[in-house]
Amino acid sequence: MGYMHLVAAILAALLQGTPVPTPSPSLSVSPSPSASPTAAPAMSARPAVADHLYPGNVLTIAVANANGDIGVAIDNPIATWSIDQNARTVALSAGRALGRATLTISDRSNQSVHIQVRVGLDAAKILSANLTLQYTGNPVDQAWLQRTVQRTVLRNVQLQPGAQAQTNFNLPAPLAPGSISAFGAQVQVPGSDSTYPVSALVNVNLQNVAAETFAPPLLFYDDDPEHIASEGVLYRGHIQPGTPVRLYYYHDNGGQPRDLVVVFSTTSDSSTVQVIDASAGPNIDVMTVGHNVTRDFLNRKPNNQGIVQSITPQSPYLAERFAMLPLSGAAGNIDIHVLSGGALDVTVLSVAPGTPDSAVPQLLTQGKLPGDGHHRTGVFDLTGYAHDTLAYTVGGQDASLDYGLHSPPTVEPPDGRDFGEYGVWRTLNFSVSNPTGQTATLYLYEQPMGGPVRSSFIISGTPQEIEIPCARASERYAIGAPIPAPPGSTTIAVQTMTDGGSFYPLEVGLTATPPSPSPPPITAPNGCFPKPQASPAPEPTGR
């Protein structure tokens, strides 16, 4: 070989270089950015997330690029699996336990993929996509209607334990009696580790039913036993078509949590009933409970504001349900009028917490709990009761009436009594004669006679109901603003009811002498619940 040929051969060898070795396969799910384009693909699994499994569901996971047989492990035993090595699949079976877990699939080269698994239930079940709410009243308080629609929508949601539903909707313009409308109500129920979120749109059909006003001739009074000591029936009454009834119930709870339920049911013919319901609670402040019942009923009853409910032997109506903690109280004034169909039963009972609504009808036939010996229960005749006319002459003596001390006439049982006249709608008509020839200024007043009392009044010519804060001292306190009495004859009509939790009798009267404008604060020395006064420090003695 010549010199030039030798140099050329050496240069060619140098230009060829050393071959680059092929890298080993990566163990990560995604290829490394520094990997060579010729690297082996990493093991993967599809689906990469199993985040919506119901108990009993089976999910097939396909594994790709595994090196040899695959194995499976889970850090929370909420699911089992089977492996098909030939098909490279894992059949994941959700168990009955709920929760989250991480499933790890690996091969013999220690490649692995991690899959997030959740076994759960829907946080709620929407019972119906369409609801109908029939109500009565003219005019109707839109705030009350908003709450009533919301309650109807929420009753259509069957929640998992711990879940809470939220609603969002806009009411249509106020409806005149006989009018209908419809709108959508959005329901949202957030999920958790063991439940899946639910979102649904429920169609609400709204109808204002034209109905005549009614005055119940009978009062069902339920306050015995007042103190709930166990589960069972507290009161049971029978409502005949053609005879409207008012139910007044008042109970406080003992040392264990219980639910207080008011149910309307029938065992024979179906019925359509109008219900005007003012119920309140639960609250450990029983005076507030009783006052809210009276205040709301005085607002709703004059406008005939209630709901219309169909009741069948298969579908009782749970009018109220209160979760009663120890020492909390609940009460209600409910007017019931059967519009069509057969007779109804009304039952007030206490049930164990967590008892499903669907299980409550099975408890209606159990025996009544024993009374507490005070006989604060029964059926009472309201016909013509508590309608009084008082004459007042300007320049003469004050006109007044004490009420809340007696009981309306008993229908059954003979030893039942309603001292306090709870559930009684009282009307006082002050017939005013003014012979002076000049307009006089008069004042309505209340005067406690039996202890702490809260009150609500409707005064003729006054656009809004008047609420009186808690008063205890036997002094006169003004009911509303001064009233002008022109020459001649006029009538001042006052309507009121007694408050559960308050003390009676209470004097209500008409006078020309200005009373105190309002009761003192409840903690004042003459307030409802005065605070103990600190004893003054003794004065130093000297010589």
436 alpha carbon, distance to own chain's centre: 55
Q: Which residue has the tokens 């709920």?
A: 98
Exposed, middle or buried: residue 341 (CB in 10 Å: 0-12, 13-18, 19+)? middle
DSSP 37-103: TTSPPPPEEESSEEEEE-TT-EEEEEEES--SSEEEEESS-SEEEEEETTTTEEEEEE-S--EEEEE
Tell me how far apart the alpha carbons of residues 353 and 163 are, in angstroms, rounded to a whole number: 16
Contacts of 442 (CB under 8 A, 6+ apart): 392, 394, 432, 482, 483, 484, 485, 492, 510, 511, 512
CA 288 to chain centre: 17
- The pTM of the whole model exceeds 0.75: yes
pLDDT at position 151 is: 96
In the chain, how long is the greatest CA-to-CA distance?
154
DSSP-derived secondary structure for 292-353: HHHHHHHHHGGGT-EEEEEEBTTB-EEEEEEEE-TT-EEEEEEEEEEEEES-EEEEEEEE-T
Task: Give the other-Cβ count within 10 Å of 516's Cβ.
Answer: 13
Q: Domains of the chain, with CATH numbers?
A: 44-119 (2.60.40.3440), 124-208 (2.60.500), 218-379 (no CATH), 387-511 (2.60.120)
Quote the pLDDT of residue 535.
57
Q: Are strands 49-53 and 329-341 parallel, antiparallel or unpaired?
A: unpaired
The strand pairing partners of 199, in sequence order, are: 188
* Distance separating alpha carbons of residues 52 and 118, to the nearest angstrom: 6
Contact 448, 503 (CB under 8 A): yes
| SS3 state at 27 | coil
Are 390 and 399 in contact by the 8 Å Cβ rule? The answer is: yes
Residue 63, CA distances (Å) to 29, 67, 118, 314, 363 in order: 12, 11, 19, 53, 55
Which pLDDT value is given to residue 28?
31
Handedness of CA 292, 298, 300, 306 (dihedral sign): positive
Question: In this structure, which amino acid lies at residue 249?
Answer: Y
Distance CA 527, CA 534 (A): 17
Low-confidence ranges of the chain (pLDDT < 70): 1-39, 533-543
Looking at the chain, how many residues does it have? 543
Residues 306-328 as b or e (16 or more Cβ within 10 Å = b): bbbbebeeeebbebbbbebeeeb
